[in-house]
Structure 1
């Protein structure tokens, strides 16, 4: 009995399995950026949509937008919205400001992430400009003013699920940053000075 056909068949199966394993690992690495892209484009999971241009229509209907500011415990930063709430017409472009300050004694690097609540409103909250996902280095005592330019898409009124929504919350959180990505905790715990 000739074992060459069996060896060739086994080699093909092994090559197929190895290729499948490589494809699965590649897909696992691609999932995060692809999911992030999907959320940015669709507003899914409370992610605001980004645009370079303002809305082409403005309605008389008003909506309230609240601004939340948070800092992960690993950063010695104060972070606040200058105006915690604004009222605007659907489609109206608004600029609001946040203030961030390093209260620590060493330079620190952070990056802001954001979301919109309720989740369904994310696809109608359109950011034209923001400071999110941009690595920030603050020196001890340094303070910066950061702007967010946005509008709420007038098509919100057509959505039967949330068309009568009266308020939206935009929430930012600054995390320590490593290589341009937020991390849950700093690599080394901070030492308290006695």
Structure 2
């Protein structure tokens, strides 16, 4: 009888341990799925790693302190595009809205779709670099040989002037890198069809 009771007790402990292990595993899986969006949210809010901000309206404050924005464009070697800024730099006052365009050309023999990553340098300036509109918000589809201009509208938050770590910063570099999209949200054919439909209207 004693051996039977001991066996039952061990069995109950084993079941509890198994349930606990499954619970921990489920929590770890859930945490891993939540980590990416939470990390992205953290980067957007804090500008961590040079992540820029998205603004819904232009700044209503413009100060005299000037800042030079330099532009950089890169393409992953697996995407047959030429991609570069139409001008290398612009100097503006903090809070002043500016628009600049990059130009991209598909040098490949087939239609391709690209998406861009972006950051600013120094990274701590990311919290103050605000985009009102940007080609980087969506995927970009180009037919073979097609060239397009890709605008970005932005301003530097005047609050940067109050940041003691950035008091001596006179330049910010905005950098983009395009990568191929294997499964585009909107294929190039759909883009061409939409353009044709607009023309017929």
| Common fold by TM > 0.5 | yes
Q: 2:116 maps to which residue?
A: 112
Aligned to 1:24: 28
Extract unaligned runs of 5+ from structure 1.
182-194
Write out the 4+ residue segments of structure 1 that deviate beyond 2 Å after TM superposition.
3-6, 178-181
Kindly state the Cα deviation for residue 72 of structure 1 after the two structures are TM-superposed: 0.6
- 2:95 is aligned to 91
Q: When the two structures are superposed, what TM-score results if normalisation uses the length of structure 2? A: 0.86
RMSD: 1.4
Please tell me whether residue 178 in structure 1 is matched to residue 182 in structure 2.
yes
1:81 Cα deviation from its structure 2 partner: 0.6
Could you say which structure has the larger radius of gyration?
2
Deviations 1:174-194 (A, max 9, x none): 01113459xxxxxxxxxxxxx
Q: TM-score by structure 1 length? A: 0.88
Give the Cα separation in 2 of the matches to 1:90 and 1:78.
31
**Count of matched residue pairs:** 181
Do structure 1's residue 77 and structure 2's residue 81 form an aligned pair? yes
128-137 vs 48-57, greater mean Cα deviation: 128-137
The DSSP-based 3-state class of the residue aligned with 2:181 is: strand
Q: Which has the higher helix share?
A: 2
Deviations 1:50-82 (A, max 9, x none): 111111200011110001000111111011111
Q: Which runs of 5+ in 2 are unaligned?
A: 186-201
TM superposition shift of 1:31: 1.6
Paired residue secondary structure (2:59): coil
8 Å contact from structure 1 (residues 121, 162) kept in 2:
yes
CA distance in 2, matches of 1:114, 1:178: 19
1:186 corresponds in structure 2 to none
